[in-house]
């Protein structure tokens, strides 16, 4: 089974976790050059008005190229408080937010210096909540994927600037956004490939099934146009 090659990501999109779910092994490349305006420091959540971006502020150094491992989080603007309040506002009425809230809040209340450490703790928490025991190696030096045939390189493929994900259509990576219950779906329609937090807070343990079906043909079952609230 190929090794998944990934960048660090802030509460990465569902596509990221669908590939992790299907992978036998993954490597996070912290030696790559940091790229702005990507999922490395940005995620998207659902609101009554549609998707909302949450962007982690990072320290600007003026250097043309910096390794991702060296990117520091900025203390400017009390961002942890603002991001946590945005999550509460968006998901307080979702079926599983209360179940997970304490674990997520602890991370947002903790002091972090480096972007990769904050992202890694959130990813580990999400994997634990999904009961996914996946070994993820960390490379502090750049990984040249051309030197090995067993890498599936998604570092530049998963990007907010990529072609928008269309529900039911398969992307170049083999990902297909399968609709699931969302609190604001009747107002906004289904919003595909948001942060994994959206899936987890809305679907809880059933998130594993959504991830599995995102890269495989799902079981056939249709009732109505929008998915119903999962059972608690």
Count other C-beta atoms under 10 Å from residue 67's C-beta.
Answer: 17
**With the C-alpha atoms ordered 31, 3, 163, 160, is the resulting torsion angle positive or negative?**
negative
Give pLDDT tens digits for 39-91: 999 999 999 999 999 999 999 887 778 999 999 999 888 999 999 999 999 99
Sheet holding 151-153, edge to edge: 136-139, 26-29, 3-6, 151-153
The answer to whether the beta carbons of residues 27 and 49 sit under 8 Å apart is no
Tokens of 110: 């903790």
Residue of higher predicted confidence among 22 and 229? 22
Tokens of 206: 């059933």
Give pLDDT tens digits for 144-174: 988 776 888 999 888 887 767 888 888 888 8
Place of tokens 């520091």: 72
d(CA 6, CA 20): 10
The answer to whether the beta carbons of residues 198 and 182 sit under 8 Å apart is yes
Residue 121 has pLDDT above 90, yes or no: yes
Count other C-beta atoms under 10 Å from residue 205's C-beta.
Answer: 13
pTM score: 0.90
> Is residue 67 helix, strand or coil?
strand
Residues 130, 131, 136, CA angle at the centre, nearest 5°?
A: 95
């Amino acid at each position: 089974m190929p090794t998944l090659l990934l960048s660090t990501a802030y509460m990465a999109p569902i596509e990221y976790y669908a590939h992790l779910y299907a992978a036998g092994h993954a490597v996070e490349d912290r030696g790559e050059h940091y790229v702005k305006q990507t999922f490395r420091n940005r995620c998207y959540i659902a609101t009554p008005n549609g998707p909302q971006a949450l962007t982690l502020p990072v320290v600007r150094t003026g250097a043309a190229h910096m390794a991702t491992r060296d990117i520091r989080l900025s203390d400017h603007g009390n961002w942890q408080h603002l991001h946590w309040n945005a999550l509460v506002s968006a998901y307080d009425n979702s079926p599983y937010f209360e179940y997970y809230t304490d674990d997520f809040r602890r991370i947002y209340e903790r002091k972090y210096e480096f972007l990769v450490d904050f992202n890694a703790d959130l990813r580990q928490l999400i994997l634990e909540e999904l009961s996914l025991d996946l070994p993820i190696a960390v490379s502090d030096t750049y990984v040249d994927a051309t030197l090995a045939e067993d890498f599936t390189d998604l570092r530049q493929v998963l990007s907010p600037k990529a072609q928008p994900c269309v529900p039911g259509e398969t992307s170049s990576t083999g990902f297909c956004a399968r609709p699931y219950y969302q609190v604001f779906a009747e107002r906004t329609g289904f919003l595909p490939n948001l942060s994994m937090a959206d899936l987890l807070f809305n679907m809880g343990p059933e998130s594993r099934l959504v991830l599995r079906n995102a890269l495989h043909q799902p079981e056939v079952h249709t009732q109505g146009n929008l998915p119903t609230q999962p059972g608690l």
